[in-house]
Amino acid sequence: MNPTTNYQGKTVAITGATGAYGRELADAFELLGARLLLSDAMHSHPQAPRSSNSHYKQADLSAAGDIESLAQWLLSEGTPDVLINNAGFFPFVDVMDISPQACQAIFSVNLNAPLRLMQRIGSAMADRGSGVICNISSGAASVVRENGAVYGASKAALEQLTRAFALRLGPSGVRVNAVRPGLRGDTLDGIPTEHLQRVGSTVPLRRLAQQGEVARVVTFLCSEAAAFITGEVLSVDGGNGINRRTSS
């Protein structure tokens, strides 16, 4: 039998579940049969789940206590089969002006939370002998922009942790990968349409990302169809990572 992306009987945990990518990931996994454990900083999920097979917990991942509380909740619900570290914080501030408080918040959400969740959930997965973790990174991890340097640094560190956990957990049957989503216009508030069109014209495939494209790759990477893939960082960006603009 060929491996499939069927998630019937599987539990999938997703952080940052109320954002555009988080909602898309939740919908994609739910349509494939998964039971969902969702979290975000909002007190409640703004969209009602499709079914009673979806559970939500508020967690502000800039707070260490909330990170621990989230980890405990996930484990109390039964060790997830899949963990998606999707939550991200990305204020674009010049590297010379960014405050220590903003730096701390960026690294807490983008790095400390995934690190701690990979430690706690990854350990439980290893004890069980199976599991998959997917970290949502960014092309900013390998591109230096003055107004996004700290955000990029947090994502570069997340990719290093992806490789480290893949090595550490692999012998126990746990796979760890990361995905770099391409720029998608409907996820960016306040950016002029003409700028987005200009950016899209530089992408090798000559367009921005479309809804569903990232989720399809993530559901593949977390499935049995990708059973021999770990420690990888996969760009879903139309080739933009090999053809970076040098100016904004």
Closest-CA residue to 128 (of 61, 69, 80): 80
Q: Per-residue pLDDT for 31 more than 70?
A: yes
Task: For residue 26, count other CB atoms closer than 10 A to its CB.
Answer: 27
Q: Per-residue pLDDT for 103 more than 60?
A: yes
Could you list the beta-strand ranges (E) of the chain. Answer: 11-14, 35-40, 54-58, 82-85, 131-136, 174-181, 233-236
* For residues 134-155, average pLDDT: 91
On whether the pTM is more than 0.95, the answer is: no
Interatomic CA distance for residues 5 and 13, integer angstroms: 16
Q: Per-residue pLDDT for 12 more than 50?
A: yes
Q: Per-residue pLDDT for 156 more than 90?
A: yes
> Where are the chain's structural domains?
11-235
As given in the structure block, the two tokens for residue 157 are 């560190």
Q: Per-residue pLDDT for 81 more than 90?
A: yes
Topology of domain 11-235, per CATH? Rossmann fold (3.40.50)
Q: How confident is the model at residue 248, as a pLDDT?
A: 44
Q: Per-residue pLDDT for 120 more than 80?
A: yes
Q: Per-residue pLDDT for 49 more than 60?
A: no
Q: Per-residue pLDDT for 1 more than 50?
A: no
Quick: pLDDT tens for 182-230.
877 666 655 667 767 777 777 888 877 788 899 999 999 999 999 999 9
Q: How confident is the model at residue 13, as a pLDDT?
A: 98
